[in-house]
Amino acid sequence: MAAYHVVLVHFPIALWMVASLAIVIRALNSGPLGLAMDRALPVFLILGVILGAAAYTVGLLVWPWATLSSTPMGRNHMLLASWSLAYYALLAVVHYLHGEEIWTGLSRWVMVAVAGIGVVLVGITGTLGGHLVGIYTEVGDVLRLLGWEIYSTYYVPNLTLVIIVVVAAALLALGFLGRGKAQN
């Protein structure tokens, strides 16, 4: 069943990379090509999230949590996979809620930065997953040069994850409250 996870992860990776490219093209081009990219963007994001959730679920079915959480690399892979999935899901929601507004003024450059962060998240997630199954890449060497020993360093303890989730939920609640007041 591990092969299913390995095959499945390539679909959201490809869709999210194309979505990030579409964001950059749309930010740089307001003409027909940019508008076409904007129309295609929700498809890339939503399909990526659906297939990402499927790959995530299959990964949890293949490798039990006790196994994944027993090593820093396993914990980091799950952490980054969770972040990647949540990140692109949130990006899909932002695009849905704000539509054309995100391409005006400074927002377009924020979207480019967000796309870049997403690419880095997915790239590191894939690198760690590859290392877990014995496929080593130079990205692991780059991460080591940046001070992250991927085989032994685990940066985010569980309490920190709980705090991140609580703060994220509070920020979402504030955003919805602020949005409601702005419409009134």
Cα of 23 vs its chain's centroid, Å: 14
Helix H or strand E segment including 70: none
Tokens 């749309």, located at residue: 26
Neighbours of 119 (CB within 10 A): 18
- Residue 17 has a pLDDT of 97
Mean pLDDT along residues 163-180:
76
Cα atoms in the 13 Å half-sphere on the side-chain side of 64 = 3
Backbone angles phi and psi of 52, in degrees to 5 = -65, -40
Phi/psi region, residue 105 (left: phi>0; alpha: psi -120 to 50; beta: rest), is left
pLDDT in tens, 137-156: 898 888 888 877 878 776 65
Residue 20 pLDDT more than 80? yes
Residue type present at position 114: V
Find the angle CA(163)-CA(169)-CA(112) to the nearest 5 degrees.
100
3-state helix/strand/coil string of 105-125:
CCHHHHHHHHHHHHHHHHHHH
pLDDT in tens, 98-145: 888 889 888 888 889 889 989 999 999 999 888 888 888 898 888 888
Contact 92, 46 (CB under 8 A): yes
Tokens 């949590």, located at residue: 65
Domain ranges of the chain: 2-153, 155-184
Q: Within 63-106, where are the H helices?
A: 65-68, 72-98
pLDDT in tens, 60-98: 898 888 888 888 888 888 888 999 999 999 999 999 998
Cα–Cα distance measured from residue 175 to residue 160, given in angstroms and rounded to the nearest whole number: 22
